[in-house]
Structure formats: structure tokens, C-alpha cells
């Protein structure tokens, strides 16, 4: 599953990218906005890693670990998405004020 590995690396790259942008930002709402985007990327990384485990190993323990990774990954991505929707108007207003 090389396409799955590509998505795993891509999601981790986006996580690192958004975390670096968050640290470099001076605006508080923009920091929260970037944090939510990083949370979505990290959640996708963990969920995709769990899916990858389903294809690599075919044992009961592997299925359990993959299920845990999927639950945590989807939960993190969902929480990040909800935070993203909540913070976006405030970040836009903050950007308009500073520009």
C-alpha cells in the first residue's frame, strides 16, 4: 500500500508544518487556528497509521491496536475540525484588525 504510506508521510509533514507556523505566529487566535489544523493533521496521521497496521499484520492484537489508533485518530481529527470551525471567524477578524 504505497499510497497509504504516502498519505501517512504527507499528514505528518502537514502536522510539522502547522506546528512550526503556530510557534512563529504572534497572534493568539491565529495560534489556536493553526493548532486546530495541526490537530486535524495529527489525527489523520494516527488514523492512517492504524489503517496501515490492518494491512501489515493480521493478528488479533494488531486488530486491537489498529482499532485504538483509529479511535484516537478520528477523535483527534474531529475535535480539531470542531475547534477549527469555532476559531476561524475570530482568526479572520484578528487578521483584518492587524492588516
Give the lowest-confidence range in 34-43, 49-58, 80-89: 49-58
Structural contact between residues 37 and 84, judged by C-beta atoms closer than 8 angstroms = yes
Q: Give the mean pLDDT of the chain.
A: 94
**2-13 per-position pLDDT tens digit:** 899 999 999 999
The CB-side HSE value for 27 (13 A sphere, CA atoms) comes to 17
Asked whether residue 51 carries a pLDDT value surpassing 80, the answer given is yes
Cell of 86: 469555532
Asked whether residue 56 carries a pLDDT value surpassing 80, the answer given is yes
- pLDDT at position 98: 78
* Spans of all domains in the chain: 2-98
- Max Cα-Cα span within the chain: 55
Average pLDDT, integer, range 13-18: 97
Amino acid at each position: 500500500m504505497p499510497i497509504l504510506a504516502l498519505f501517512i508521510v504527507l499528514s505528518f509533514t502537514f502536522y510539522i508544518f502547522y506546528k512550526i507556523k503556530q510557534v512563529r505566529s504572534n497572534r493568539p487566535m491565529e495560534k489556536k487556528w493553526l493548532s486546530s489544523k495541526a490537530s486535524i493533521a495529527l489525527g489523520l496521521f494516527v488514523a492512517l497509521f492504524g489503517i496501515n497496521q490492518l494491512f501489515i499484520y493480521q493478528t488479533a492484537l494488531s486488530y486491537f491496536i489498529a482499532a485504538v489508533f483509529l479511535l484516537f485518530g478520528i477523535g483527534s481529527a474531529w475535535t480539531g475540525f470542531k475547534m477549527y470551525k469555532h476559531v476561524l471567524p475570530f482568526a479572520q477578524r484578528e487578521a483584518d484588525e492587524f492588516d
